[in-house]
Amino acid sequence: MNTAEQLRNRLWDAREAASFLKVSRSWICARVERDEMPYIRVGGLIRFVPSQLREWTFAKDQSRG
């Protein structure tokens, strides 16, 4: 796997997800607690699959209007 593939397949932590969505880390944590956004658990850690987060974001945007 080359570097580009590794970056594409890399999981995000809450800080990176917050940065992508332009929200606070606490906003991310609140949504995860309420199970309102896609995430996975790796051991005791919360991680985000970038492609799932993008799909969720755009699906939420389309449902508004």
Task: Judge if pTM exceeds 0.85.
Answer: no
| Count of CB atoms situated within 10 Å of the CB of 28 | 25
Token pair for 1 = 């796997």
pLDDT in tens, 55-64: 999 887 666 6
Long-range contacts of 40-43 (CB under 8 A, 24+ apart): 40/11, 42/11
Q: Calculate ∠ Cα 44-46-47, nearest 5°.
A: 130
pLDDT in tens, 8-47: 678 999 999 999 999 999 999 999 999 999 999 999 999 9
Q: How far is CA 32 from CA 18, 43, 59, 60, in A?
A: 12, 16, 17, 15
